[in-house]
Amino acid sequence: MSVEPPPNAQASTSPLDQELTILTSVGAILSSTLDLREAFSKMMQLISDRLNMRRGTLVLLDESTGRLRTEAAIGLTPDDIERNRFALGEGVTGNVVATGRARIITDVRNDPDFLNRAGRLPANNTTDGPISFLCVPIKIEGRTAGALSVDKPFVDEEQLKNDRSVLDITAAFLAQAIQINRMVMRQKEELLEENAQLRAQVRDRYRF
């Protein structure tokens, strides 16, 4: 005798459950290593797979130059990454870092601020359909340190809202990971300096 499956046993996973799964995985990746480049790459690949995005970039602000540098990218060629450089306030990404406010663009073909340096649109500006672009700031202690951006085929406004939520929380995880990494690096530099001073004192004392 066959047994009927319980109601909703084969129901698709809810958007909220999907978001929780993504964010749990992102948190696990970022807490697993102090090698930020490795963590960034794994995280970008995860988001790419789960959010059905075409391309994604993580940029950080180089305060010594005032320019944004790409730390991790998915779906971009080396040439795309080389072109994907912005001054603070330049283009959509530069504007997000300068203002600290996210930008959600339903169709990049209709936004004059979109510079297309990463080749998200073909040269003739035609695609199979609207391409949405989401860019959220990464903030550390109230200051914007960079931005996380993705582009993907437009589905609907509700999906954009859900994707924005995932990216906002991911950016918060990133900010925490970057802050911890910087603290560890500062402590390492301080220990190296103390060690060098101690070695110098020993040499002076024992003349060797």
Identify the structural domains of the chain with CATH numbers, from first to last: 15-182 (3.30.450.40)
Give me the count of residues in the chain. Answer: 208
Closest residue by Cα to residue 170 from 13, 56, 33: 56
User: Which regions of the chain are under pLDDT 50?
Assistant: 1-11, 123-124
Two tokens at 44? 């970008």
Say what the alpha-carbon torsion angle 107, 113, 119, 125 is, to the nearest 10 degrees: 60
The pLDDT of residue 136 is 97
Reported as a single tens digit per residue, the pLDDT across 63-106 is 888 899 888 888 888 888 887 778 888 888 999 999 999 999 99
Alpha helices, H only, the chain: 15-30, 36-51, 78-83, 91-99, 157-206
Cα dist. 195→26, 27, 59, 120, 144 in Å? 36, 34, 34, 49, 34
The answer to whether 96 and 102 have CB atoms below 8 angstroms apart is: yes
The pLDDT of residue 10 is 41
Give the global pTM: 0.75
d(CA 72, CA 38): 9
Cα dist. 29→13, 33, 44, 47, 156 in Å? 22, 7, 10, 12, 29
Q: Please name every residue paired with 139 in a beta bridge, in sequence order, or none if there are none.
A: 144
DSSP 108: G
- Quick check: helix, strand or coil at residue 74? strand
- Quick check: helix, strand or coil at residue 162? helix
Q: Other C-beta atoms within 10 Å of 19: how many?
A: 17
As to burial, measured by CB atoms within 10 angstroms (0-12 exposed, 13-18 middle, 19+ buried), residue 73 is buried
Residue 191 has φ and ψ, to the nearest 5°, of -65, -40
**What b/e readout covers 173-183, taking b as 16+ CB neighbours within 10 angstroms?**
bbbebbeebee
